[in-house]
Structure 1
Amino acid sequence: MIELTYPFALLLLALPLLMRLLPAYKESRDSVRVPFFRKLVELSEQRPEQGARVLRRDRLQRLLVNLTWLCLVLAAAKPQWIGPPIEQQKSGRDLMIAVDLSGSMEAQDFTLPDGSSVNRLQAVKRVLADLANRRASDRLGLIVFGAAAYLQTPFTDDHQVWQQLLDETEIGMAGPSTVFGDAIGLAIRQFTQSDSDNRVLIMLTDGNDTGSTVPPVDAAKVAASYDVRIYTIAIGDPTTVGEDALDMATIRRVSELTGGRSFEALDQQQMRDAYLTIGELEPELYESISFRPRQSLHWLPVALAMVLYLLYHVTMALITARARRAADAA
């Protein structure tokens, strides 16, 4: 349908009616002086006098002027063609994945279905690839952490790019230790820049916090205040001792404070089961966006006015030329 952007511009249509209330325009011109003026008066049998003459347009000219004014006013009102509603669906959830790249991820204690062994990071990449395929409606982000936390991928709908950047991660690229709390803090900062109200952070780690600026539990309390739910997946053997020991108490506490859950993944199947459970707890969400395309049509009245103007003058020129040829032939 057609809609006027500035409908009040149509009030200008009455302007020519108001112009009629004004006095006619007057213009003085010098008369032609000839030495045989009296002779011309006698031959024309007219008496010379002073006066004024108001030029009048013929009907075609009046019609052309009125149509031109109508076209210009319509153009000023800016008509628009509004198309039928178009609905689009976009992601209703922002899902941030935080992956531990500390040196302990080199342990090859995960077995694939074919019997081959891979390190923990390779197993994580395989499961995350399946996760990306299952969460087609979510915007995914990626954080890697070790001695420091880094944003590898901001939230994006392009899962192919996200997967490529995940594949490029390597063990130790973020440092040898594990700043679990700083990774949560970096995720919170990304969520505060997001418009989504559904915020989920999935963290994969095989160690314990080793010197974060903000302790993991305190960071989890801040995350809870921003409605960020944290799901933690502890990778590897929980009986490990030393610097690589899993701090399951902290991992569970972080999830509890934010309304999430914690999981233990001793092998790839348990890791996959953890993601499937998270998928059930966080079902896919969609947000529908409806809009109607608009196309400006203001140029059509202007083009019509120009066509009428050119058509009139071309027609008049042809008529005048034909009349002259007829007069010359006579």
Structure 2
Amino acid sequence: MLAFAYPWLALLAPLPVLAWFGLPPHAERRAGLRVPFFDRLARLSGQQPFDGGVVARRGSVRFAVLTVVWLLALAALARPQWIDPPLHRDLPTRDLLLLADLSGSMDTKDFTDPSGQTVDRLTAVKQVLDDFLARRKGDRVGVVVFGDAPFALVPFTTDLELCRAMLRDTDVGMAGPRTAFGDAIGLGIGLFARSTVKAKTIIALTDGNDTVSKVPPVEAARVAKDKGIVIHTVAVGDPTAAGEDKLDEAALKEVASATGGGFFRALDRAQLAEIYQRLDAIETRRIDTVSFRPRRDIYWIPLAAGLALTLLAEGLHLARRYRRDHASGRRPATAGARS
């Protein structure tokens, strides 16, 4: 669609007509031919000399060319633009951070994969998370893994294929054998510091008891609440375990409750998959659709047309003048004279 940025310049279109009729003719004084026998020539010709001038009239073709060139120049000044069809872009309005426990206890083989084979907890978690991420189109997702200390595996990104690939490459013990859940929450809060979206969510899964964090998980959760972050906790450990592998369900429930999130317990892969389906329903996709129409300036088209028309008209005028001079036997005027 064609549009003009400054359409009001069209009001200047009749300006040449107003100048033609409103301004006085151009006056120019020129020296006449002086001869001593002027009076005799006047009597012989039968004409009476008088003071006055001659108004040269411009040809209709030349006037039409000048009019068109003026209109084309105004069209270029009005900044014509070609507006393309609207484009739509989806902008994420949620940042979703996954906290994945890589402590030594995640190597326990008490989960069953879809084929019926017994796998360790981390393998089952990665399989379910992979399917979960495949449905998260429209969100920015980040991944933090933790053991003895937390590490940002993937910063917030809309490239969910990258998140899935990085998660598939994780292994038990990569971050140390113990569980620093509280510090992982603290690192997640830091990652959200530059986030400008309104919805901020953490999904944390762990199977151990936090024994090495500098900040207790509950205290970190309270800070997250103040930052507007919701934490959902998923317990994948054995509630009957003891020692380092003991699952502190009370702490996980308190973390989720402090931020308005939910607590879930997964004792097998089926429950784990069901949990992520429920989370997928709770944390529905949120996007803002922004529409814009690209604009391309095409002022060069009327400028090029005006230039081409001017050159064509001048070329035809010179050609006609050359033919007239050649037919009359006169030598055509040249740019310079030879010495």
Q: Secondary structure at the match of 2:204?
A: strand
Partner residue, 2:5: 5
Partner residue, 1:304: 305
Following the alignment from structure 1 to structure 2, what is the Cα–Cα distance between the partners of residues 151 and 74?
56
Partner residue, 2:185: 184
Following the alignment from structure 1 to structure 2, what is the Cα–Cα distance between the partners of residues 155 and 201?
12
Partner residue, 2:131: 130
Following the alignment from structure 2 to structure 1, what is the Cα–Cα distance between the partners of residues 136 and 142?
12
Partner residue, 2:254: 253
Higher alpha-carbon deviation: 10-19 or 310-319: 10-19
Query: Does structure 2 retain, via aligned residues, the 8 Å contact 1:236–1:267?
Result: no
**Matching residue's letter, 2:285:** E
Provide, for residues 162-186 of structure 1, a one-character-per-residue CA deviation record: whole Å limited to 9, x for no partner.
Answer: 2111112222322333222232233
Q: Structure 2 matches for 1:1-330, cutoff 5 A? A: 1-10=1-10, 13=13, 38=35, 57-328=58-329
Following the alignment from structure 2 to structure 1, what is the Cα–Cα distance between the partners of residues 224 and 264?
19
Query: Does structure 2 retain, via aligned residues, the 8 Å contact 1:238–1:246?
Result: yes
Assess, with a 3 A threshold, how the Cα gap between structure 1 residues 125 and 324 changes in structure 2: closer, same or farther: same
Runs of 5+ consecutive residues of structure 1 not aligned to the other structure: none
Query: Does structure 2 retain, via aligned residues, the 8 Å contact 1:90–1:288?
Result: yes
Following the alignment from structure 1 to structure 2, what is the Cα–Cα distance between the partners of residues 235 and 119?
11
Assess, with a 3 A threshold, how the Cα gap between structure 1 residues 106 and 69 changes in structure 2: closer, same or farther: same
Following the alignment from structure 2 to structure 1, what is the Cα–Cα distance between the partners of residues 199 and 328?
87
Assess, with a 3 A threshold, how the Cα gap between structure 1 residues 50 and 133 changes in structure 2: closer, same or farther: same
Q: CA deviation at 1:55?
A: 7.3
Q: Percent identity?
A: 42
**Matching residue's letter, 1:254:** V
**Matching residue's letter, 1:98:** L
Following the alignment from structure 1 to structure 2, what is the Cα–Cα distance between the partners of residues 44 and 98?
113
How many residue pairs get matched?
325
Assess, with a 3 A threshold, how the Cα gap between structure 1 residues 283 and 41 changes in structure 2: closer, same or farther: same
Higher alpha-carbon deviation: 251-260 or 130-139: 130-139
TM-score by length of 1: 0.82
RMSD (Å) for aligned C-alpha atoms: 3.4
Assess, with a 3 A threshold, how the Cα gap between structure 1 residues 273 and 43 changes in structure 2: closer, same or farther: farther
Assess, with a 3 A threshold, how the Cα gap between structure 1 residues 327 and 212 changes in structure 2: closer, same or farther: farther
Provide, for residues 191-236 of structure 1, a one-character-per-residue CA deviation record: whole Å limited to 9, x for no partner.
Answer: 3433432222111111233333433222212222233221111112
Following the alignment from structure 2 to structure 1, what is the Cα–Cα distance between the partners of residues 160 and 305?
50
Following the alignment from structure 1 to structure 2, what is the Cα–Cα distance between the partners of residues 24 and 257?
89
Query: Does structure 2 retain, via aligned residues, the 8 Å contact 1:146–1:176?
Result: yes
**Matching residue's letter, 2:208:** G
Q: CA deviation at 1:23?
A: 8.3
Runs of 5+ consecutive residues of structure 2 not aligned to the other structure: 331-339
Provide, for residues 225-253 of structure 1, a one-character-per-residue CA deviation record: whole Å limited to 9, x for no partner.
Answer: 23322111111212222223222111111
Following the alignment from structure 1 to structure 2, what is the Cα–Cα distance between the partners of residues 24 and 151?
82
Q: Secondary structure at the match of 1:140?
A: strand
Assess, with a 3 A threshold, how the Cα gap between structure 1 residues 101 and 54 changes in structure 2: closer, same or farther: farther
Larger radius of gyration: 2
Higher alpha-carbon deviation: 40-49 or 115-124: 40-49
Assess, with a 3 A threshold, how the Cα gap between structure 1 residues 24 and 252 changes in structure 2: closer, same or farther: farther
Following the alignment from structure 2 to structure 1, what is the Cα–Cα distance between the partners of residues 223 and 327?
96
Following the alignment from structure 1 to structure 2, what is the Cα–Cα distance between the partners of residues 111 and 311?
83
Assess, with a 3 A threshold, how the Cα gap between structure 1 residues 16 and 172 changes in structure 2: closer, same or farther: farther
Q: CA deviation at 1:145?
A: 1.7
Q: CA deviation at 1:306?
A: 1.4
Following the alignment from structure 1 to structure 2, what is the Cα–Cα distance between the partners of residues 306 and 85?
33
Q: CA deviation at 1:152?
A: 1.7
